Structure 1
Amino acid sequence: MKKFLKIFFGTILVLIVLLVGVGAMFFYKVKNGFPVSYETEKPVLSIPANKSAILVFSKTTGFRHAESIDASIPAIKKMEEKNNWYVYATEQGGVFNAEQLKQFKVVVFNNSTGRVLSDEQQKALQEYVENGGSLLGIHGAGDNSHHAWDWYTNEFLGAVFSHHSINPHLQKTEVKLETDIDTLLGKNLAKSWNNTDEWYVFLSQPKGAKVLYYIDGDKIIPNGNMLWIKDKNFGMGKYHPVAWYRQMGKGKAFYTSMGHSKDVWTNPDYLKMIENSINWTIKK
């Protein structure tokens, strides 16, 4: 009997240790990503001369919003013909070089999480934006897995990610349009609409940016506590930005924290916001 109990409790202990290890690895991956490799081979590009080229980059080494990414590509491609775009969708980082980036009007970080580019590729993207290119980020492109890239966090996002709602996770609330916004960006956008999403909480308002859409943070439950994390039961207050934009050097930047699930890609108000934001970043 003693031998049995010893084996039993030993097995339980091993399982607990394994679960803790898996949990710790998961949180590390969410925050830092696990970069396996940085692709360096330049792709062959065949961009039509009369179209505005859009680079949609969906590589992930952190948490992967697989359903949203899968739904986003055909949704963005549906906008292609209407707007005279050429959409190049990839998860290969080799295109992030000065020679090829300059062929694109805008780069979209499409729920791209974790460390996805090498130091040299990050520098190429930074110089591309500062010299007149544009960068657009969707949802996971703003989480804390990008925390080690100072330029991206401070200059592009302008805010540091803290957590997202967990209990409850996805919540429905009203998204409201700001009044003082860029005319092209705001063209035909809904003044308000309902969206169900995983609401990101940042530690401050986005510095140096203009807000396009916001929610009433007092009407959601921003609780991000789970397991041993007990200090994430706060939000951004009544004025909670969920889409903002800025000038970056000679280029432009747009970010929306909305876009967790595949369902947003069938929401006409969300689609119109993405379409407008791409056209706004294209126009110089």
Structure 2
Amino acid sequence: MNRNHCLMALAIAALTLSAVTPRVHAAKKVLYFTKSSGFEHSVVARQGDRMAHSERIMAEICAGKQVELTITKDGSYLTPDRLREFDTIVFYTTGNLLEPGTDKHPAMSQEALDALFAYVKDGGGFMAIHAGTDTLRSEPASEYTKMVGGTFRTHGAQEVATVKVVDPNFPAMKGLPVEFAFQEEWYLHQQINLGKDMRVLMLLDCPNMKQDMYKELPPQPMTWCSNYGDGRVFVTGIGHREDVWEAPWFKGMLDKAFDWTFGDVDGDASPNFEKFLK
């Protein structure tokens, strides 16, 4: 384990221990993986030994849920045995994680990547946030893309745009307005729904956006879920900006998404993609 990971684990352990009260059942465990083999987003960039912005918010969310959180950029930390210690694994990653790439932290092994797929298929929880879809891209689509449900294609300049919640009964969508607008870097995805298993939860209102690259399109999936084998996968293209991570609605969405990926609450993940996009 490298020095950065040790420091991060100690910081999270201290935060978690201060938040946890004694109880009979073991705490849920989350792994937040923030390696950037490609472009490094500001919300996962660390300054020295300080946690990155999104890492601090994730720690806050997990502490509030009395969830044990481990954060790492070290791909070698993800071993087959270790992956199975967690109830949900969260990726805010970029590029080919089998290579050290931009941030120079150790890469994942192919064995670990295969173990990740097996872990989810066997009933594990998985989340991909924003650049989690800009990860392990390939043509034809990688198994990672099939599991996640799509891969990053492009984005335009940041702008204020509207998202529409299309499944208000799904746990992570509860309490959100039916429509609301905010400034963000809006991803467009490709290789979408190859497994024919996507349940769209939130659409980006592309026709009413300013830039031609968006407004020429029908509304696009921005948040969705699926079952990958027996596992539960939650994906959102949102999460580029620091102020988005600070927003109570975004924190609440991730908080409630964990309840579903843990299997603590029911949520309809049956496919509905063709209801919105042909």
The answer for the alignment partner of 2:55 in structure 1 is 73
Q: Say whether the 8 Å CA contact 1:68–1:261 is kept in structure 2.
A: no
Q: Say whether the 8 Å CA contact 1:51–1:85 is kept in structure 2.
A: yes
The answer for the alignment partner of 2:40 in structure 1 is 64
Q: Say whether the 8 Å CA contact 2:172–2:254 is kept in structure 1.
A: no
Q: Structure 2 CA distance, aligned partners of 1:171 and 1:88? A: 33
Q: Structure 1 CA distance, aligned partners of 2:83 and 2:254? A: 21
Q: Structure 1 CA distance, aligned partners of 2:75 and 2:88? A: 15
The answer for the alignment partner of 1:85 in structure 2 is 67
- Give the letter for the 1:153 counterpart: T
Q: Cα gap change, 1:283/1:66 in structure 2, threshold over 3 Å: closer, same or farther?
A: same
* Equivalent position SS for 1:50: coil
Give the drift of 1:235: 6.3
The answer for the alignment partner of 2:164 in structure 1 is 176
- Do residues 188 (structure 1) and 180 (structure 2) align? no
- Do residues 125 (structure 1) and 113 (structure 2) align? no
Residue pairs, 1:1-16, within 5 angstroms:
none
Q: Say whether the 8 Å CA contact 1:201–1:235 is kept in structure 2.
A: no
Aligned residues: 229
- Do residues 279 (structure 1) and 232 (structure 2) align? no
- Give the letter for the 1:161 counterpart: F
Find the structure with the greater CA-based Rg: 1
Q: Say whether the 8 Å CA contact 2:136–2:145 is kept in structure 1.
A: no
Q: Say whether the 8 Å CA contact 2:167–2:173 is kept in structure 1.
A: no
User: Cα deviations across residues 186-242 of structure 1 (Å, max 9, x unaligned)?
Assistant: 33233332221111112365342111111211122455xxxxxxxxx4667232111
Q: Structure 2 CA distance, aligned partners of 1:180 and 1:187? A: 6
- Give the share of equivalent positions with the same residue, in percent: 25
- Do residues 200 (structure 1) and 187 (structure 2) align? yes
- Do residues 104 (structure 1) and 83 (structure 2) align? no
Point out where structure 2 has 5 or more consecutive residues left out of the alignment.
18-24, 46-51, 98-107, 265-278
Give the drift of 1:134: 1.4
Q: Cα gap change, 1:160/1:94 in structure 2, threshold over 3 Å: closer, same or farther?
A: closer
Structure with the higher helix share, 1 or 2? 1
RMSD: 2.7
The answer for the alignment partner of 2:28 in structure 1 is 52
Give the drift of 1:145: 5.2
Q: Say whether the 8 Å CA contact 1:96–1:124 is kept in structure 2.
A: no
- Do residues 256 (structure 1) and 236 (structure 2) align? yes
Using structure 1 for the length normalisation, give the TM-score: 0.72
User: Cα deviations across residues 159-183 of structure 1 (Å, max 9, x unaligned)?
Assistant: 2432111xxx11111221113643x
User: Cα deviations across residues 79-112 of structure 1 (Å, max 9, x unaligned)?
Assistant: 22321211111111223222111110001002x0
Q: Say whether the 8 Å CA contact 2:162–2:204 is kept in structure 1.
A: yes
Q: Structure 1 CA distance, aligned partners of 2:70 and 2:149? A: 27
* Equivalent position SS for 1:67: helix
- Give the letter for the 1:73 counterpart: E
Point out where structure 1 has 5 or more consecutive residues left out of the alignment.
1-38, 224-232
Q: Say whether the 8 Å CA contact 2:151–2:192 is kept in structure 1.
A: no
The answer for the alignment partner of 1:219 in structure 2 is 208
Using structure 2 for the length normalisation, give the TM-score: 0.73
